[in-house]
Amino acid sequence: MPPISPQEPWAQVSEVLRLIRSGEAQTRPELADAAGLGRNVITLRIQAAETLGLIQPSGELRSRGGRAAEVWEVNPDAARLLVGIIGANQLRVVLADLRLKPIADHIVDWPYSGPEETCERMAQEMEALLADEPLPLWGVGIGMLAPVDFFTGRSADPVTPTVAGQRWPRDFDVRRWFVRRLNTPVWVESLSNLMALGAAAEPGAPDDLIAIRMELGVGSGIVSDGKVHRGADWIAGETNHIVVQPDSERICMCGRLGCLDAFAGAWAVEADAHKAIAQGRPTVLAAKDQAEVDLDAIVDAAESGDIPAAEIVLRAADALGRVLAAIVTWFNPRRVVIGGNALASSQLFHGAMSRTLYAVALSASVRQLELRQGRSDHFEEVLGALTMVRDALFSQTFLSAWGPLGAPDRVDQLHTRESQF
């Protein structure tokens, strides 16, 4: 779609909506000042947004010295948004209102079974949530472990399969699959980027941050100047394949030696624990069945003072700290959010990782750096996906396309476009 002039009426409706939902301006006088538009024009744009059901009066009044003005807010129940998260061993489907508040949140175990089978199961879970929903669905966001060509909605070439052998084929058209099934606009993004987008959507979040997503591997998402940085080939944030020790004998699944994943990936941590048991080292993990020696058990043992388990956790923390030191020194983010698995929630891991980071990074780059633990329920990914869909639907370009028709699902161009923005 070609760029839209800011003077185009629907582009101005989009700006009014952005100002209202952000809280920057919520009355006619405030909106006129913030948007740089006349009072009569603002009144028309508010009327257009209200006709679409996008905004409603809050019932409050606000005065700047004269007659109190009506306060406007986003109408959460004009429509619904739907998010599908394709994780390593499970699927998650979330239905939300236009204020991004979840209405239903469903998780189902799902060992990867190929792209068609995975999309089919995801669609079934989505349709189950929509079965009793009276409001229209305006947009869908899909999060994937694989890299994604954001403009086309196709899977990009993955760097490596997961330890379970999962590998989405190159150029699988995820977006088109779901558009045809659900008949609504769809956006697709990697989970690491969605985590970063969700972290950036938190109140008071800085414009420059990094989100470290720890699951089977250690990926990351980058937000620069308030926007996700994806890179020329959609693989920006492949933190897991930064080499920590080039002379290491640790083989990463990408085939190289000494990658971060070979130290801090869940698969590597678990392999280290099994190796310690095989060597006869005294550890409480030796009393467990082999299948029970997983990441959660290793972290629990380390936190309880088990020396072999603690060594494994500390080694992983040191590796991530060194990688982060390089990234932070180069990028200079204001915040780093680390979340995902049991390691990401471990105080022992965070303490050791922080010490390495602050010792190795350029002091000026960490002087105002804020380290945060991500939510254990992965909600940043859900929030990121919802934010992605909402912001796209209400962007100047998209709103100009569907606003005159009353709803996004009435514009075929939004379903078949080659570019998502």
pLDDT in tens, 149-189: 888 888 876 655 554 556 677 778 899 999 999 999 999 99
DSSP H/E element including 358: helix 347-360
pLDDT digits (tens, 9 = 90+) for 123-146: 999 999 999 999 999 999 999 987
Which CATH architecture describes the domain 80-198+379-416? 2-Layer Sandwich (3.30)
Cα dihedral across residues 130, 183, 136, 50: positive or negative: positive
Q: What percent of the chain has pLDDT over 70?
A: 93
Q: Identify the pLDDT of residue 418.
A: 44
- Mean pLDDT for 35-43 is 92
As a whole number of angstroms, the distance between CA 147 and CA 141 comes to: 15
Tokens 């080292």 correspond to: 281
Residue 311 has pLDDT above 50, yes or no: yes
DSSP H/E element including 348: helix 347-360
Q: Are 285 and 297 in contact (CB under 8 A)?
A: yes
Domain 206-373 has CATH 3.30.420.40: yes
| Spans of all domains in the chain | 9-74, 80-198+379-416, 206-373
pLDDT digits (tens, 9 = 90+) for 108-128: 998 877 889 999 999 999 999
Nearest to 142 by CA among 156, 169, 122, 113: 122
Q: Identify the pLDDT of residue 1.
A: 55
- Mean pLDDT for 38-60 is 93
Q: Are 323 and 336 in contact (CB under 8 A)?
A: no
Q: What's the CATH number for 9-74?
A: 1.10.10.10
As a whole number of angstroms, the distance between CA 256 and CA 260 comes to: 11
Name which of 51-65, 174-188, 327-341, 373-387 the model is least confident about: 51-65
Name which of 209-213, 247-251, 304-308, 387-391 the model is least confident about: 247-251
- The contacts of residue 83 (CB under 8 Å, 6+ apart) are 92, 93, 94, 95, 96, 140, 141, 142, 143, 382, 385, 386, 389
Q: What percent of the chain has pLDDT over 90?
A: 71
Q: Identify the pLDDT of residue 419.
A: 43
- The contacts of residue 223 (CB under 8 Å, 6+ apart) are 196, 197, 199, 200, 207, 208, 209, 210, 211, 229
pLDDT digits (tens, 9 = 90+) for 57-93: 988 777 666 677 899 999 999 999 999 999 888 999 9
Q: Are 108 and 155 in contact (CB under 8 A)?
A: no
Q: Identify the pLDDT of residue 253.
A: 84
Strand partners, 55: 74
b or e along 339-362 (b: 16 or more beta carbons within 10 Å of the residue's beta carbon)?
bbbbbbbbebbbebbbebbbebbe
Domains 80-198+379-416 and 206-373 equal at CATH topology level:
yes
Tokens 């390089």 correspond to: 326
As a whole number of angstroms, the distance between CA 284 and CA 307 comes to: 10
Q: Identify the pLDDT of residue 421.
A: 39
Q: If pLDDT is split at 50, 70 and 90, which confidence band does 399 have? A: very high
Name which of 2-6, 158-162, 169-173, 318-322 the model is least confident about: 158-162
109 exposed, middle or buried (CB, 10 Å; 0-12, 13-18, 19+)? exposed
Average pLDDT of the chain is 90
Residue 240 has pLDDT above 90, yes or no: no
